[in-house]
Homo-oligomer: A and B are copies of this chain.
Amino acid sequence: MTTITTRTVEYPADGLTMIGHLALPSGTGPRPAVLIGPEGVGLNDFQRRRADALAELGYVALAFDINGGRWFTDPREMLAHTTPLLADPARMRDIGHAALKVLHAEPRTDPDRIAAIGYGTGGLIALELGRDGVDLRAIGTVNALTTGHPGEADRIRCPVWAGVGSQDPIMSAAQRDAFAAEMQSAGVDWRLTVYGGAQHAFHHPPVDQQTVPGVAHHPLHAERAWRDIVGLLTECVPVPA
């Protein structure tokens, strides 16, 4: 493990004060940078640790915030916040652009090599940045397969990798097919990995022992999805030796 530097960053977006977690790799000079979008629940140490792990691999990494510093443990509260957000691509893009601005303001960021990854709500924000024409080098999402406004996927010019659980009732097989068709007809360089038996949010440890139907942690597939994400970054935004 290498020495990394982390700091909390506050910035405005979506009418809230967002509290992100920025992790910088050891060394000096510009490095490829990664936006990391959290699950709808928001940021806790689990999501922040993703940024730390990428910084250990040599990336400038921002675990961005979508909830104004809140982390929801009550699924109803989470849905009350995210449902209207997911229905409003302009709000999602606003949140994504604000996070991007934080990355751009960081001197260690190589502005020509920025990737966006995310989980659930955060993954959809990564996709919306692509559909908005942001010049990203890679988009990686887990459990985030909604289609966008017709025609806008044409603006995605980087490889897209998406992962999803086969038994995810929220990201149905029909939704997977629609997403694949959108990517394919837009001429995007895309891939989709289906994790057999995994349910929604399989990448996330249980929250407060609550049981939500269709949601379950799957540690083995979670590890694989992380390796798949790291593989995407290694391919598209390799860290200079």
Q: Is the CB of A196 within 8 A of B177?
A: no
Q: Is the CB of B192 within 8 A of A197?
A: no
Q: Is the CB of B220 within 8 A of A196?
A: no
CA distance A62 to B207 in the complex (A): 46
In the complex, how many angstroms separate the beta carbon of A197 from the nearest chain B beta carbon? 6
In the complex, how many angstroms separate the beta carbon of A89 from the nearest chain B beta carbon? 22
Q: Is the CB of A235 within 8 A of B231?
A: no
Question: Which bracket fits the contact residues of A?
Answer: 20 to 34
State how many copies of this chain the complex holds: 2
CA distance A31 to B145 in the complex (A): 41
**A190's contact among B160, B189, B196, by CB below 8 Å, is which?**
B196
Please tell me which stretch of A10-18, A44-52, A180-188 contacts chain B, meaning at least 4 of its Cβ atoms lie within 8 angstroms of it. Answer: A180-188
Q: Mark A148-184, 1 if CB is under 8 A from B, else 0.
A: 0000000000001000001100000100010010011
**A191's contact among B190, B191, B193, B235, by CB below 8 Å, is which?**
B193
In the complex, how many angstroms separate the beta carbon of A218 from the nearest chain B beta carbon? 10
Q: Which residues from chain B contact A220 at a C-beta distance below 8 Å? A: 189
Q: Is the CB of B193 within 8 A of A192?
A: yes
Residues facing B in A195-241 (CB within 8 A) are: 195-197, 220-221, 224, 227, 231, 235
Q: Which residues from chain B contact A227 at a C-beta distance below 8 Å? A: 231
CA distance A14 to B197 in the complex (A): 36
**A194's contact among B167, B173, B191, B196, by CB below 8 Å, is which?**
B191
Q: Is the CB of B184 within 8 A of A173?
A: no
